């Protein structure tokens, strides 16, 4: 039997649990958490890497059979049990409590480097009001690169050279954590107010960018490249692997934040509809954000191609004593063919540059390179460049901040639900303490080697651990909690039983896909020798010139970051089992007649 007093306390806690003001606020919170920098950075990069539109096919398949089922499951289980990640998985089974702890650790570690990106955005935002923009004119010919790698990061030559703390980044990082704390000071109540701006403003900016970018020369080339299908690409297994991981990470699954947000919902709420709305809006945002990005890529590709041809035109004009203005961009091809026929040896000796628009379109830029190099370079060429720079970095600020709400919620809610915080400590003070600890640990990213460490955290914390956590989540719901019991809960909450699509994905398809993605990821990573791109300030053509291997001690940290969160899963299970053995042994030793009943009850739960 359950303790009636304990049950009464639980019902009281559920009744008193805070909640958002309305349904729109809740959906915006979930959308803001799911829609983040990955939609603006990584998705366009993957589309560009795999030849544009062909990537959309495996992406949609992954959304349908992996993303949506897991999203629906997390929203439903959080809403039904009304707890954070640790409480939810401990309620399902004492042995599953480690899944919640793992989610909490991942949210904490991801929040560390995610807010460092927010600090970089603040640094560029503050500089966007200068005229001219400070990254327009720098000591070397690639000004935006120099401003990013030298003026902003002040990067060291390699990861082994730590460098000193960069005081301007320390101030920006402190500002970023202060902003997060102010928005989060009262928990879900203040987050709900801030989310109206942070979740909607990026769509306004993206639309403005799209309308303006479509007027740039070369815009059509970028759009054609985005929506052209290269069917041969689909034969590459890595395309399917990257599509599966992208939809998974883009929806912010297994972080615990979605479970925490849904726990503030009334239990009679249509969580299936919520999952479909959040999942589809997230994917729509990825595609919608790709359009202005590819338009700008088309503009930059045309500009680089024209600059390349102008350099060749100047070289040919001087070498063959041709009148200035005779060779133009329009007739460059004809002149080159003519000179190749009349004096091919002289043309060959000039070492003309290879100018090909398709090559420039295929030059990939990912992550920080996309935001702090490609976009800043494009903004320079726009009229009223300061305005566009401010709008762009405000948009990135909103995307980062709304995602940080979910990361911090994934840490605070489980800790508060476990009642490990003494009641005399105000929630505001505890939130401030978590932010202060996070700021102190994240100072590693403000070192001269900070960008190297951020890439390590991004690669190793936000990959394998999330796959493992999600696999244990879906196994816990489908085969420990029981799929029939879960279906009953959803029917009670939504008024109808899950259809065959949800049943098949929860039972078989999604666990199988997670297992395949995990195995494929491990196999692919095992075949590669971990390397990183090092800064070479003397190599002016492109700053990341040297490819180095990680030292053994750094690689050991990489492995530790992959293992540290998920090691909580077996450790908590082992601890619970030892507690059970201890209690059972004591009951047997004391000849408790209910010892066997205790054993049966524990096994059944």
Residues 214/490, Cβ–Cβ less than 8 Å: no
DSSP 8-state class, residue 264: T
pTM, whole model, 2 decimals? 0.86
Residue 596, φ and ψ in degrees, nearest 5: -70, -35
Reported as a single tens digit per residue, the pLDDT across 8-37 is 444 444 445 555 557 788 888 888 888 888
Angle, alpha carbons 587-593-599 (nearest 5°): 60
Was 547 annotated as part of a binding site? no
pLDDT at 86 exceeding the cut of 80: yes
**Is 195 exposed, middle or buried (CB count within 10 Å of its CB: 0-12, 13-18, 19+)?**
buried
Question: Would you state the pLDDT for residue 543?
Answer: 46
pLDDT band at 498, cuts 50/70/90? very high
* Res 89 pLDDT > 90: yes
Computed from CA positions of residues 21, 180, 378, 37, in that sequence, does the dihedral angle turn out positive or negative? Answer: negative
Q: Which residues have CB under 8 Å from 245's CB, separation 6+?
A: 463, 467, 517, 521
Of the given ranges (12-26, 231-245, 289-303, 508-522), which has the lowest mean pLDDT? 12-26
Any known ligand binding at 403?
yes
Tell me the range of 65-69, 365-369, 404-408 where mean pLDDT is highest.
Answer: 65-69
Q: Which residue shows structure tokens 């003026």?
A: 151
To the question of whether residue 399 is assigned a binding role by annotation, the answer is yes
- In this model, does residue 413 exceed pLDDT 70? yes
Average pLDDT, the chain: 84
3-class SS of residue 601? helix
Q: Where does the pLDDT of residue 222 fall: very low under 50, low under 70, confident under 90, or very high at 90 and above? A: confident
How far, CA to CA in Å, does 411 sit from each of 260, 467, 566? 9, 19, 15
**Full DSSP string of 354-396:** ---HHHHHT----THHIIIIIIHHHHHTSTTHHHHHHHHHHHH
- Whether residue 106 is annotated as binding a ligand: the answer is no
Spatial neighbors of 325 by CB under 8 A, at least 6 apart, are none
Distance CA 465, CA 457 (A): 12
Q: What is the pLDDT of residue 13?
A: 45
Task: State the pLDDT at residue 598.
Answer: 54
Residue 438 · residue 115 · CB < 8 Å = yes
The residue among 381 and 338 whose pLDDT is bigger is 338
pLDDT given at position 601: 58
Residues 456-463: what's their mean pLDDT? 85
Break the chain into its structural domains and give their ranges: 17-298+368-590
For residue 34, say whether it is annotated as part of any ligand binding site: yes
Mean predicted confidence (pLDDT) in 573-581: 86
Which of 59-63, 217-221, 541-545 is the most confident on average? 59-63
> Do residues 513 and 244 touch, judged by C-beta distance below 8 A?
yes
pLDDT tens for 227-263 read: 888 788 888 878 888 888 788 778 889 898 899 888 8
Is the bond preceding residue 290 a cis peptide, omega within 30 degrees?
A: no
User: pLDDT at residue 300 above 90?
Assistant: no
458 among annotated binding-site residues: no
**Does 475 score more than 80 pLDDT?**
yes
Give the Cα separation of 112 and 461 in Å (integer): 11
Contacts for 319 with CB less than 8 Å, ≥ 6 apart: 346, 350
Domain 17-298+368-590 grouped into CATH 1.20.1250.20? no
């Amino acid at each position: 039997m359950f303790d009636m007093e304990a049950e009464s306390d639980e019902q009281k806690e559920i009744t008193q649990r805070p909640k958002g003001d309305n349904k729109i606020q809740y959906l915006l919170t979930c959308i803001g958490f799911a829609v983040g920098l990955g939609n603006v950075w990584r998705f366009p990069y993957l589309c560009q890497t795999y030849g544009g539109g062909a990537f959309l096919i495996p992406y949609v398949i992954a959304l349908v059979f992996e993303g949506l089922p897991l999203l629906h499951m997390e929203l439903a289980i959080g809403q039904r049990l009304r707890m954070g990640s640790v409480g939810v998985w401990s309620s399902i089974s004492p042995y599953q409590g480690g899944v919640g702890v793992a989610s909490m650790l991942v949210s904490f570690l991801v929040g560390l480097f995610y807010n460092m990106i927010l600090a970089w955005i603040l640094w560029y935002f503050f500089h966007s009001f200068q005229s001219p923009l400070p990254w327009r004119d720098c000591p070397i010919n690639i000004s935006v690169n120099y401003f990013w790698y030298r003026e902003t990061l002040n990067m060291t030559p390699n990861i082994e050279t730590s460098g000193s703390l960069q005081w301007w980044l320390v101030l920006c990082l402190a500002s970023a954590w202060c902003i997060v704390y102010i928005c989060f000071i009262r928990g879900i109540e203040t987050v709900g107010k801030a989310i109206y701006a942070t979740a909607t403003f990026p769509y306004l900016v993206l639309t403005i960018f799209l309308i303006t970018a479509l007027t740039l020369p070369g815009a059509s080339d970028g759009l054609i490249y985005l929506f052209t299908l290269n069917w041969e690409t689909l034969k590459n297994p890595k395309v399917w692997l990257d599509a599966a991981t992208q939809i998974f990470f883009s929806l912010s699954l297994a972080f615990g934040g979605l479970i925490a947000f849904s726990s503030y919902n009334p239990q009679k709420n249509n969580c299936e509809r919520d999952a479909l709305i959040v999942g589809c809006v997230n994917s729509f945002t990825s595609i919608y954000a790709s359009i202005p990005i590819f338009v700008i890529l088309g503009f930059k590709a045309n500009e680089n191609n024209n600059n390349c041809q102008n350099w060749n035109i100047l070289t040919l004009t001087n070498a063959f004593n041709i009148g200035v203005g005779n060779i133009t961009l329009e007739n460059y091809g004809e002149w080159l063919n003519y000179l190749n026929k009349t004096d091919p040896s002289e043309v060959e000796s000039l070492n003309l540059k290879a100018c090909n628009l398709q090559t420039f379109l295929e030059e990939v830029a990912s992550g920080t390179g996309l935001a702090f190099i490609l976009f800043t370079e494009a903004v320079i060429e726009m009229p009223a460049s300061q305005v566009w720079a401010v709008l762009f970095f405000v948009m990135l600020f909103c995307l980062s901040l709304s995602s940080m709400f979910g990361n911090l919620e994934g840490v605070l809610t489980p800790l508060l639900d476990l009642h490990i915080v003494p009641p005399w400590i105000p929630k505001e003070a505890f939130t401030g303490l978590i932010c202060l600890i996070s700021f102190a640990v994240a100072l590693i990213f403000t070192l001269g080697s900070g960008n190297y460490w951020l890439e390590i955290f991004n690669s190793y914390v936000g990959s394998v651990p999330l796959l493992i956590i999600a696999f244990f989540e879906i196994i816990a719901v489908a085969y420990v909690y029981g799929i029939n019991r879960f279906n009953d809960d959803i029917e009670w909450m939504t008024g109808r039983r899950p259809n065959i699509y949800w049943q098949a994905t929860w039972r078989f398809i999604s666990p199988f896909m997670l297992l395949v993605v995990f195995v494929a990821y491990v196999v692919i990573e095992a075949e590669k020798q971990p390397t990183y791109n090092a800064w070479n300030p003397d190599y002016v053509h492109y700053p990341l010139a040297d490819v180095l291997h990680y030292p053994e001690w750094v690689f050991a940290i990489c492995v530790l970051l992959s293992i540290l969160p998920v090691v909580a899963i077996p450790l908590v299970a082992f601890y619970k089992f030892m507690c059970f053995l201890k209690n059972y042994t004591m009951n047997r030793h004391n000849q408790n007649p209910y010892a066997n009943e205790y054993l049966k009850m524990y096994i059944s739960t």
